[in-house]
Structure 1
Amino acid sequence: MINLFTPYKFKGMELKNRIIMPPMCQYSVEKKDGVATEWHYLHYVSRAVGGTGMIIIEMTDVEPDGRISDYDLGIWSDEQIQPLKRIVDACHAYGAKVGIQIAHAGRKAEDAVVPVAPSAIPFDEKSKTPRALSTDEVKGLVEKFRSAARRAVEAGFDTIEIHGAHGYLIHQFHSPLTNKRQDEYGKDLTKFGKEIIQAVKSEMPEDMPLIMRISAKEYVEGGYGINESIQFSRVYKDAGVDMFDVSSGGEGQIAAWGRPGTHAAYQVPLAKEIRNALDVPVIAVGRLDDAILANAVIGNEDADLVAVGRGMLRNPYWSLEAAKQLRIETTVPKQYSFGF
């Protein structure tokens, strides 16, 4: 029987357990230059010390106007490589693998003077109206994702995650709610995502897995559901995605707390459907910070890996505490062994 602490190997990546720290924006860049700071170093390395199998660095943007805010991480410049590499190297020293989520916020770029999007449709009545990208600009953004992937490989990351969820740019292209274009990127809603996947894969080593985060359901009238997300995920798999990180929302703005339907593990059935339909590894995420529940997701083979977000924000040592609660033997830093 597999459990939360069963090692996991996929392509050239070997994880000591099935626990993932998902990407969560820290909004902590100090000089608005996209460069990782001491906060980012301490934040991520402490989770590696705490026993996490893999850490995925927060949404890191491929151009300055692709950030949600000016305080987000960037990967559009070679100057941003070394501070990220410092984090990766330290996490590796404590036994964790490290991924990075590369992205563009599109119309949800709050600090852009004029955000860009597939079509000139604002996110809501309080948001700026974005400018529709020209066809040439769309192609240029594909190249920016390619360059971001090159920098990620140079920084030593073990995997790259493309952010295609939560209402950000790639999601905006493959959603019929937000893509009203008449060009080639409107006739095929997955074309932008496919080209990014192929560009990113061209910069990655053969044995490095490519992850894509998707919103499997939009929770808004006229939005897509699981059947449509299975269809576009199949296209993305064929283009080169090796694993899906299955979330939801982004257009309907359903939050993971305080609303009907957001009970513990509410997104796990979506991950399981993607896994079964496409025969592809998946990461489950969303209110899985109870160790017994997270362990059941793995034991029941609903997902291959489990991402624990808010639980890990509260406790960097969530993984060690989970092992203790589940009575599963795991490696504890010798400095902390008396506590266990």
Structure 2
Amino acid sequence: MVSPRLDDPVDIGGVTLGNRLYRAPVLECAGTGPDAPERLAAELEPAARAGVGLICQGATIVRETGGCAAPGMTRVADPDFVASLETVTDAIHDHGAAIAIQLEHGGLRSMETWHAEYRREHPNLRQLAVSRPPRLLRLLDRLGFLDYDAHVLTTEEVYDLAADFGRSAAMAVDAGYDIVHLAGANMGIIHQFLSPFYNRREDEFGDGVRFLEVVADEVRTRAGDVPLMTKVPAETAAPPGIRRHLTADAAVDICRRLDDAGYDALVPVSGSVFWDASIVRGSFPARSWHDDRFREGYAEAFGGPIRARLVELGNRIEAAWYDFDPAWNAALCRRVRDVVSVPVLCEGGVRERGEMDRLLGDACDAAGMARPFYAEPELPARLLGTDTSEETRAVCESCNNCAVPQVTGATGVCRTPSVLARAGTLRKEGVYVSDPENAGENNGDPVG
């Protein structure tokens, strides 16, 4: 059997994508103000214009208050606001691409835990917790690095939270989103349900997959037969000494069960039990840490300049520990693909066209990138097409200078001069130019 190529179509839950390249979810920092739809459209539309098959809008919060893991996240709880996001979906559909909305709640990872200024401004805002915070996190609370006033969800409240995911999904589908994508990893509350590090419940939700089953029921009941996908974490990068964590075997079993539960696509990812550099592997972002424009914002976020320096030191250590590894989720994706019947999507350190073609049909059914789109919003124009070289590579250096300033509310953009210079040279060469006469015909309209 001939393995598929990046240019080949793929079906996810009845939606046919024109190719197997997708823009993975990343923080867009658009907020929920009146200009948010236009900001999101401006951020996402270039990838659609350049021919990408699927765009995954980054994590959006399903409740009106609390739950944001970073400044500038968009909320999808108000019907009028969500209806205005039709501006975004129309912009993507005009170029024949499909768009997924990623639904999220941060739980213990929310800003009310770690962002000092936000905590001062919202003193009565409690974190939602699957169980009592783990002992190690309570120690960090006592030392003043985190601030826990956690509310452990009752069984009834867990069902209410699942219903919020369903309501947000229904509003999003009405606004034109093609696929619902759950933020099941990166230490959000879904991850916390799945993880034995966080989940010590004694009710039915002590089995974290049960929460994803209930969310699927809520989405299907409220939003109809919309394609549903989720990230699934393996905590294989957990530091030594953390005994209770998700092994690769556990993640594969979770994926098998979600396939049985009716999920239409799965995104297996490796990480830790913490929100650390294991999810954005690469170099230490020295340029961003030492940028005077963000120093005050770092101090506000982390509780003063000294604590900001300590966080910087931790980031430096993590960057050395979690060095960049090309396609670091491929082995886990390959194992999952062997046991499920739905498409498996692979992201994390994927950078080259030839690498993507080698992954397809082996480790995955579609390949995605996130950070590289900060430097090259129209990157698909270089990666797609029969004349594209195997050596065609994103200019992204995985330096993470784009990511760290986002803790201050800064927009996610490439800030590395050498990367921007290469992208500028390519732009002058015309590699990102789209043919306006063929707009909307590169992929064909996503078929539902």
- TM-score, normalised to structure 1, is 0.89
Q: Is the 8 A contact 2:28 2:43 kept in 1?
A: no
Q: CA deviation at 1:310?
A: 1.5
Q: CA offsets, 1:166-191, max 9 Å, x none? A: 111011011111012223322x3322
- The answer to whether the 8 Å contact 2:381/2:434 transfers is no
Q: Which moved more, 1:35-44 or 1:306-315?
A: 35-44
Q: Which residue type is aligned with residue 160 of structure 1?
A: V
Is 1:136 matched up with 2:156?
yes
Please say if residues 166 and 214 of structure 1, whose CA atoms lie closer than 8 Å, have aligned partners that are also in contact: no
Amino acid at match of 1:296: R
Contact 2:79-2:171 within 8 A present in 1 as well: yes
Name the structure 2 match of 1:306: 367
1:215 to 186, 211, 233: 233
- What CA deviation, in whole Å up to 9, does each residue of 1:183-242 have, x standing for no partner? 3322x3322221112211223443x32111111334212211111112222222222211
**Matched positions, count:** 331
Secondary structure of residue in 2 paired with 1:289: coil
Aligned equivalent of 1:49: 49
On the 8 A contact 2:234/2:272 being kept in 1, the answer is no
Instruction: Report 1:42-191 matches (<5 A).
Output: 42-63=42-63, 64-111=65-112, 113-121=125-133, 124=137, 125=140, 126-129=145-148, 130-186=150-206, 188-191=207-210
2:258 is aligned with what amino acid? Answer: Y
**More strand by percentage:** 1
In the other structure, the counterpart of 1:7 is: 9
CA distance in 2, matches of 1:70, 1:249: 22
Post-superposition offset of 1:7: 1.6
1:250 CA drift (Å): 4.5
Percent identity at matched positions?
24
| Alpha-carbon distance in structure 2 between the residues aligned to 1:49 and 1:85 | 17
2: CA distance between counterparts of 1:260 and 1:169? 23
Kindly state the Cα deviation for residue 327 of structure 1 after the two structures are TM-superposed: 5.1
User: Matches of 2:94 and 2:236 in 1, distance apart?
Assistant: 39
Q: What is the aligned partner in structure 1 of residue 340 from structure 2?
A: 278
- In 2, Cα distance between the equivalents of 1:276 and 1:204? 30
- Residue 95 of structure 2 aligns with an amino acid whose one-letter code is Y
Which of 197, 207, 221 is the matching residue for 2:216? 197
- Taking the aligned partners of 2:389 and 2:349, their CA distance within structure 1 comes to 22
CA contact (8 A) 1:100 1:157 kept: yes
- What amino acid does structure 1 have at the position aligned with 2:382? E
Q: Which residue of 2 aligns with 1:238?
A: 260
Deviation at 1:85, TM superposition (A): 1.2
Unaligned 5+ runs, structure 1? none
Residues 184 and 233 in structure 2, CA contact (< 8 A), matched pair in contact too: yes
Deviation per CA, 1:135-164: give whole Å up to 9, x if none. Answer: 221121111111111111101111111111
Offset, 1:13: 0.8
8 Å CA contact retained: 1:194, 1:235: no
Further displaced range: 260-269 or 222-231: 260-269
Residues 32 and 73 in structure 2, CA contact (< 8 A), matched pair in contact too: no
Q: What code does the residue aligned with 2:362 have? A: E
1:266 equivalent to 2:355? Answer no
| Cα distance change on mapping 1:71 and 1:260 into 2, 3 Å | closer
Letter in 2 for 1:77: D
Letter in 2 for 1:115: Q
Deviations 1:321-340 (A, max 9, x none): 11366259xx9732499xxx
Match of residue 411 from structure 2: none
The aligned residue for residue 18 of structure 1 is 20
Deviations 1:108-146 (A, max 9, x none): 111473211111216842222222112221121111111
Higher relative contact order (CA 8 A, sep 6+): 2
Partner amino acid, structure 2, of 1:201: R
Q: Is the 1:274–1:280 Cα contact (8 Å) retained in structure 2?
A: no
Q: Which entry has the higher C-alpha Rg, 1 or 2?
A: 2
SS at match of 1:114: coil
- Flag the 1:261–1:280 CA change in 2: closer, same or farther, 3 A: farther
Distance in 2 separating the partners of 1:155 and 1:336:
27
**What is the alpha-carbon distance in structure 1 between the residues aligned to residue 218 and residue 256 of structure 2?**
18
String of CA shifts for 1:273-326, please: whole Å, max 9, x gaps: 11112233100001112222122212x532100011122221112111113662
Uncovered stretches (5+) of structure 2, i.e. residues with no partner: 113-121, 284-320, 391-431, 439-448
The worse-fitting range, judged by mean Cα deviation, of 160-169 and 289-298 is: 289-298
TM-score (norm 2): 0.69
